[in-house]
Amino acid sequence: AQKVTQAQTEISVVEKEDVTLDCVYETRDTTYYLFWYKQPPSGELVFLIRRNSFDEQNEISGRYSWNFQKSTSSFNFTITASQVVDSAVYFCALSEMGYSTLTFGKGTMLLVSP
Amino acid sequence: GAVVSQHPSWVICKSGTSVKIECRSLDFQATTMFWYRQFPKQSLMLMATSNEGSKATYEQGVEKDKFLINHASLTLSTLTVTSAHPEDSSFYICSARRGTSEWETDTQYFGPGTRLTVL
């Protein structure tokens, strides 16, 4: 069975601080996909990134970066120089090869204060 | 882009009435759509997977007769909450899977959600 754990329930930072959101996953499959979604107060989930299990390269997109490590089954998300607009709930999700359903973590609420 | 819309964005209804929620993929065809339910400060709970032209697959514990799902076209899926009761009040979110490959896990794009309040 697959499982996604986001141990941090809530994180509070002050603007311009860097923050890392942790995601640890469990799966028996060797081929799988990992996702991060952002859910701002409006409620709509915004897709941030999708990685497959064969691609362990870290990725950077502006202030966002992702660190994928198969050895520790982790897919952590770092926001550099956080901004108030980054305040949201962030979900990590996993999907196994051949299945279209997502298994979500419980989410991490990030509050960035001015 | 990959835009998914939902209508209505919020609805208030009386207990015992039925409510229909529409989910549309606006700029792509979606052979598979998903319906989720989210309670305050909780994660998303998958209710059912909807495939175009076939019956929906419901997750364990989800009542098929209460949550009717129809996926009549490649761009539209509907969720009807029948005989709604206060405990059905929740945030309902749909998503659409872009892509048709059986072996590729394509990204799911989410609608803005529908907040249902049953009085």
- What are the beta bridge partners of residue B118? B13
Cβ B119 vs Cβ B50: under 8 Å: no
pLDDT of residue A93: 96
Residues of A in contact with B109 (CB under 8 A): 47
Cβ-contact B48, B69 below 8 angstroms: yes
Cross-chain residue pair A43–B113, CB shorter than 8 Å: yes
In this prediction, residues B41-56 reach a mean pLDDT of 90
Closest Cβ–Cβ partner in B44, B108, B113 for A44: B113
Per the structure block, which two tokens stand in for B84? 């709604």
pLDDT tens sequence across A62-96: 999 999 999 999 999 999 999 999 999 999 999 98
**pLDDT of residue B1 exceeding 80:** no
pLDDT at A99: 67
- B106 pLDDT more than 60: yes
Q: Is the CB of residue A11 less than 8 Å from the CB of residue A112? A: no
CB contact under 8 A, A107 and B43: yes
Which residue on chain B is closest to A107 by alpha carbon? Answer: B43
**Phi and psi angles of residue B74, each rounded to the nearest 5 degrees, phi first:** -75, -5
**pLDDT surpassing 60 at residue B103:** no
CA dist., res. A62 & res. B46, Å (int): 31
Cβ of B5 under 8 Å from any chain A Cβ?
Answer: no
Question: In chain A, which residues have their Cβ closer than 8 Å to the Cβ of B115?
Answer: 43
Q: Is B62 on the interface with A (CB under 8 A)?
A: no
